[in-house]
Chain A
Amino acid sequence: MSSSWSFNTKAIHSGYTRDPATGATSVPIYQTASFSYPTAEALADVFTGRKYGHVYSRISNPTVAALEARYTALESGIGAIALASGMAAISAALEALCEVGDHLVASSGLFGGTLHLLKEVLTRRGITTTFVDLSDIDGFRAAITPSTKALIVEVIGNPKLDVADLGALAAVCHDNGIPLVVDNTLTTSYLFNAKQWGADIVVNCLGKFVAGNGNTIGGIVVDTGKFDWSNSRSPLVKEFSEKFGNFAFIAATRKHIVVNTGACMAPLNAYLLMMGLESLGLRMERHCDNALGLALYFQKSSKIVEVRYPGLPGHAQTTLVQAQFNGKGGAVLTIRLGSKERAYHAMNALKMVSIATNLGDAKTLAIHVASTIYRNFTDEERQSAGVYDDLIRISVGIEGIQDIIADFDQALSGLE
């Protein structure tokens, strides 16, 4: 692997070249629970980490390790852990950083699952979170307390579609000696180089754009290698830094959290995600082109109250989109239709577009967010996350753009 390779070359060649046993060019699916060794000493050496290898697929697996190595290269990181889902990835990262009595600072427009994790799950475990509007950099700075262990934001908020000023947020974090955790799911490492903009830990729900076909779920945690864990505020990670140096966070997350909580990725899912990664760059270009095309169509439609898409010239944070994502707005947009009834009516009239709770699929998907992902939140919480009764979130696929527009056009034609 060459660190000078372009993204698309790394996505195809890094982390795995050929199977040493058979020469297989696609990564084999090592569908096995355990790995045997010729002697008790040899197994003990691998188990204790003195030798490289695999002992049990809850701890590590060659197919999963190939995905971890490839994704590490794409984020220019030092190590990664693949997990059963994106939520498992976020949970594991925060569990490694926080313990009872600790505090997090997060943006308010987060994905519903992450909001639930912070508000309902971690709170009951004695870990509290202060939520700040993504654009309020001074608010983030003011929210940090001596107990704060990390700041977590989505690069593009889902479904609020606000854009983080990552350079400013990284400065706030590093002035206070805490890591910046970013969820790069909507942007992926293709659109956004998290390390370059100061992120310390990257999480991604791989089942979205990396899978690309909606055929699996999975998540990953990556350490970009920028944070000095020997000065970590997190006792567990600091303890691991005495033995693992730069790898302290990854080692603590894998060896203390993931190994003992068990949300490991299945080898088949790692294989599917490896295949998905190879075409991620090509697909993201098409996703972005199609999303912009659809957003421009909605902008001209008299049936639409509001269209929100980071790639539209009128978006409030166009400067950040230009600087951080080279002007690409991703594949997700939202429209408001004036009422829940109108939103449902339009969705029910769609013929090609699927009504489904996913994004990043090759297929265009639409969802009424307020009655599904955000159904358990208060009106106030929904508004702060940019969720309204008349809002539809659309994940724009890679079909022909004329067909996507035609389906929405016929669906909207039934509205007054």
Chain B
Amino acid sequence: MEITINGDKTTVDGVNISVSDLLKIRNVDMPDMVSVEVNGTILERSEFDSTQVGDGDQVEFLYFMGGGR
């Protein structure tokens, strides 16, 4: 499937995968510190296991470590 991560179209194996699995597959740094937005909706961390990401979805990873907003 093809999803857009932080503005870049990316091919990811699988049909629908959880956000938790996506963090692992993409080898996202410091996963305990990342906020995740799917199709414009910010997720609670408790929703990472139950929220599925599928073909065409827009995903944003955002860290609170950076500079500006």
- Closest CB in chain B relative to A48 CB, distance in Å: 6
Give the chain A neighbours of B62 by CB distance below 8 A: 49-50, 243-244
- Closest CB in chain B relative to A45 CB, distance in Å: 8
A50, B61: Cβ atoms closer than 8 Å: yes
- Closest CB in chain B relative to A7 CB, distance in Å: 19
Q: Is A397 interfacial (CB 8 A cutoff)?
A: no
A47, B68: Cβ atoms closer than 8 Å: yes
Q: Is A60 interfacial (CB 8 A cutoff)?
A: yes
- Closest CB in chain B relative to A226 CB, distance in Å: 12
Tell me the number of A-to-B contacts counted with CB atoms below 8 Å: 79
- Closest CB in chain A relative to B51 CB, distance in Å: 12
Q: Which of A229-257 contact B (CB under 8 A)?
A: 241-247, 250-251, 254-256
Chain A residue nearest to B61 (CB atoms) is A50
Q: Which of B42, B45, B62, B65 is the most central at the interface, judged by chain A CB atoms within 10 Å of its CB?
A: B65
Choose from B34, B65, B68 the contact partner of A60 (Cβ within 8 Å): B65
Chain A, interface SS category: helix
Choose from A48, A51, A244 the contact partner of B67 (Cβ within 8 Å): A48
In the assembled complex, the Cα of A200 lies from the Cα of B44 at a distance in Å of: 17
Q: Is B13 interfacial (CB 8 A cutoff)?
A: no
B45, A256: Cβ atoms closer than 8 Å: no
B43, A245: Cβ atoms closer than 8 Å: yes
In the assembled complex, the Cα of A245 lies from the Cα of B36 at a distance in Å of: 8
Q: Is A5 interfacial (CB 8 A cutoff)?
A: no
- Closest CB in chain B relative to A380 CB, distance in Å: 42
| Total chain A interface residues with beta-carbon distance under 8 A | 30
Give the chain B neighbours of A50 by CB distance below 8 A: 6, 60-63, 66
Give the chain A neighbours of B43 by CB distance below 8 A: 245
B68, A52: Cβ atoms closer than 8 Å: no
Chain A residue nearest to B36 (CB atoms) is A245
In the assembled complex, the Cα of A47 lies from the Cα of B66 at a distance in Å of: 5
B35, A48: Cβ atoms closer than 8 Å: no
A254, B68: Cβ atoms closer than 8 Å: no
Choose from A47, A51, A256 the contact partner of B29 (Cβ within 8 Å): A51
Q: Which of A50-97 contact B (CB under 8 A)?
A: 50-56, 59-60, 65, 78-79
Give the chain A neighbours of B63 by CB distance below 8 A: 49-52
A242, B42: Cβ atoms closer than 8 Å: yes
A244, B35: Cβ atoms closer than 8 Å: yes
In the assembled complex, the Cα of A250 lies from the Cα of B32 at a distance in Å of: 13
- Closest CB in chain B relative to A188 CB, distance in Å: 23
Give the chain B neighbours of A78 by CB distance below 8 A: 32, 45
Q: Is B33 interfacial (CB 8 A cutoff)?
A: yes
Q: Which of B33-54 contact A (CB under 8 A)?
A: 33-37, 42-45
B65, A254: Cβ atoms closer than 8 Å: yes
- List the interface of chain B (C-beta within 8 A of A): 6, 28-30, 32-37, 42-45, 60-69
The 7 closest A-B pairs by CB, nearest first: A49-B66, A251-B64, A52-B29, A49-B63, A245-B42, A244-B35, A50-B6
| 10 more CB-based (< 8 A) A-B contacts, given A59-B65, A245-B43 | A50-B6, A50-B63, A51-B63, A53-B29, A55-B67, A56-B67, A59-B66, A243-B37, A243-B42, A247-B64
27 sampled A-B residue pairs with Cβ under 8 A: A45-B6, A46-B66, A47-B66, A49-B62, A49-B64, A49-B65, A50-B60, A50-B61, A50-B66, A51-B29, A51-B63, A52-B28, A52-B34, A52-B65, A53-B29, A65-B65, A79-B33, A244-B42, A245-B36, A245-B42, A247-B35, A250-B64, A251-B64, A254-B64, A254-B65, A255-B66, A256-B69
